[in-house]
Amino acid sequence: MIFKKSAAAPAKNAKTVDDSGFSDRMKTLMAEQKSVNSFAKAAGVTEGAIRNYLRGGVKPSQKMVEAIARTANVSPTWLLTGEGKRNPQAGELLLGTPAERDVLRLAIQDAEQILAVLKAKPTSEEKADLILGVFDYYTEATKEGQQPDSAEIIDFIKEKLKRV
């Protein structure tokens, strides 16, 4: 039986949550797997963590949700909240929260605008690196509660373009 009881309690620093929906979705996913242990290994997480989620009452970190969703090929939003499509369609962004996707969308738009103003024509790989750099900058600024600085982003892109 896949769902055998484990004596392990949630870690002392684990966040508890009163939502059985996540636990139910985890049980659904695990019922489709060969074993909890093999799934945990594939996801790069501990079997104990998966079993805590199956029992319910423990809120996973965003990284954990992404690792589980990626391994099970389900939407992280669906896994965590039950909202949206369970399985993303081809071309849909699998990783990240809706807020992170919004930041990525903004990073792409801003990088494209700056490249157009600079009349720069980087290769696809160079453009991807620039966009990731802008995304990382926006993500860090947001975490620190700061407003992204346009001048810093322009300088970052100019510096990156000099290296190519």
Contact 41, 13 (CB under 8 A): no
Q: What residue ranges do the domains of the chain occupy?
A: 15-81, 98-163
What's the token pair of residue 158?
């100019």
pLDDT confidence band for 19 (50 / 70 / 90): low
Radius of gyration over every alpha carbon of the chain, rounded to an integer in angstroms: 20
* Residue 123 scores a pLDDT above 70: yes
Q: The domain 15-81: what is its CATH number?
A: 1.10.260.40
pTM listed for this prediction: 0.49
With a CB cutoff of 8 Å and minimum separation 6, the contacts of 54 are 3, 23, 26, 27, 30, 36
Q: What mean pLDDT value characterizes the chain?
A: 80
Burial grade of 47 (CB within 10 A; 0-12, 13-18, 19 or more): middle
pLDDT confidence band for 89 (50 / 70 / 90): low
